[in-house]
Amino acid sequence: MAALVNVPTRAKRGDIIEIRTLTSHIMETGFRHTMDGAPVPRDIITSFTCRHNGAEIFRADLFPAIAANPYLSFFTVAKESGKFEFEWIGDNGYSSIASASIIVE
């Protein structure tokens, strides 16, 4: 798995929790050239989505100005136990998923 996700394993109902994700990707901007002047084609992640038990809780559009190996941190309210699903979509048919479970008590 090329992605790292950090979600608390347990939380109290109503707590605001931080979710951090890091995925391995070159994020080639498409603005660079090789030494002999040929343009390097763009290859980036364009979209990130986080769902909790199927419902979208966070979404991001990414552009070439996002650094290589995109890192994202965001927050959500712990409402119920279940699964967080993470999805990265990008150029050249790139797709990657990850998941993490949480127990809300």
Q: Which is nearer to other proteins, 67 or 105 (CB)?
A: 67
Provide the edge-to-edge strand list for the sheet that holds 82-90. 10-11, 95-104, 82-90, 45-52
Helix (H) or strand (E) holding 1: none
Q: Which is nearer to other proteins, 36 or 105 (CB)?
A: 36
- Please state the closest distance from residue 82 (CB atom) to other proteins, in A: 13
CA angle, corner 28, sides to 46 and 60, nearest 5?
A: 20
Q: Which is nearer to other proteins, 58 or 89 (CB)?
A: 58
Contact footprint for other proteins (CB under 8 A):
16-17, 29, 31-35, 40, 56-68, 70-77, 79
- Residue pair 45/90 in contact (Cβ under 8 Å)? The answer is yes
- Please state the closest distance from residue 9 (CB atom) to other proteins, in A: 18
- Please state the closest distance from residue 70 (CB atom) to other proteins, in A: 7
- Please state the closest distance from residue 79 (CB atom) to other proteins, in A: 7
Sign of CA dihedral 38, 47, 76, 80: negative
